[in-house]
């Protein structure tokens, strides 16, 4: 496969004219698809249509982001694997966040984020349950509207990085705001409340 890859790269480099270059690029993409699907075989949780998109994205990144003399099958597989890992992590995080939101939606009263805090699961253990409604009554006057909304996002499964990207602020700002919010909550509750 390495020899085929090297030959396809060489044909692409030597292609004269637009039509020949496009044909050489198509041949290289076809080889990238075959190689990419083999490399993605271990990522069973990624559906086939997403695998095709990942291979194409990795191929485009290779062409656009790396100098021609560094194009190799190993580099392509490395770029593709990094994209696949990021996709799996993102999918797992989304699944976890959706589960927390679904569990929160099943509860009848109160805001979903605070109910998620009071239930067993990712954010609170059975030993440290917090009465979410009583907590809200005590904490609402202590936190700004921004901090309340960010805390609810955290409690429904969003990461500080996701909140920062969504709000277009620095992650450090979200980190510091959540640290202050948890300090206020611990003070209001009188115990360790941070998940």
Distances 20 to 14, 17, 26, 27 between C-alpha atoms, Å: 9, 6, 10, 11
Per-chain mean pLDDT for the chain: 75
Q: Residue 188's pLDDT band (boundaries 50, 70, 90)?
A: low
pLDDT, residue 172, reads: 92
> What is d(CA 9, CA 2) in angstroms, rounded to the nearest whole number?
11
State which H helix or E strand residue 38 sits in: helix 18-39
104 pLDDT band, cuts 50/70/90, is low
How high is the pLDDT of residue 182?
82
Neighbours of 107 (CB within 10 A): 15
Q: Average the pLDDT over each of 5-19, 41-55, 101-115, 156-170 and give the range with the smallest value.
A: 101-115
Higher pLDDT, 64 or 66: 64
Q: What is the DSSP letter of 190?
A: T
Distance CA 129, CA 193 (A): 9
Write out pLDDT tens, residues 16-25: 888 988 888 8
- In tens, the pLDDT along 73-103 reads 888 888 888 888 888 888 777 777 676 666 5
Secondary structure (3-state) at 175: helix
Among 15-29, 37-51, 134-148, 155-169, which stretch is predicted with the lowest mean pLDDT?
134-148
Distance (Å, rounded) from C-alpha 195 to C-alpha 190?
Answer: 15
Higher pLDDT, 118 or 48: 48
Mean pLDDT of 111-130: 42
């Amino acid at each position: 496969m390495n020899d085929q890859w090297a030959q396809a790269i060489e044909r692409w480099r030597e292609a004269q004219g637009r039509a020949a270059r496009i044909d050489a690029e198509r041949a290289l993409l076809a080889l990238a698809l075959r190689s990419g699907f083999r490399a993605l075989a271990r990522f069973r949780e990624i559906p086939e249509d997403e695998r095709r998109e990942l291979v194409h994205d990795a191929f485009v990144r290779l062409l656009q982001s790396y100098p021609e003399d560094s194009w190799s099958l190993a580099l392509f597989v490395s770029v593709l694997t990094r994209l696949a890992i990021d996709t799996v992590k993102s999918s797992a995080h989304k699944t976890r966040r959706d589960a927390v939101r679904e569990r929160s939606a099943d509860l009848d009263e109160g805001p979903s984020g605070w109910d998620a805090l009071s239930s067993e699961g990712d954010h609170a253990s059975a030993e440290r349950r917090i009465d979410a409604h009583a907590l809200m009554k005590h904490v609402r006057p202590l936190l700004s509207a921004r901090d309340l909304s960010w805390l609810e996002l955290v409690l429904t499964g969003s990461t500080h990085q996701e909140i920062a990207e969504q709000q277009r602020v620095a992650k450090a700002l979200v980190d510091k705001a959540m640290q202050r919010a948890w300090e206020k909550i611990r003070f209001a509750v009188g115990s360790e409340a941070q998940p």
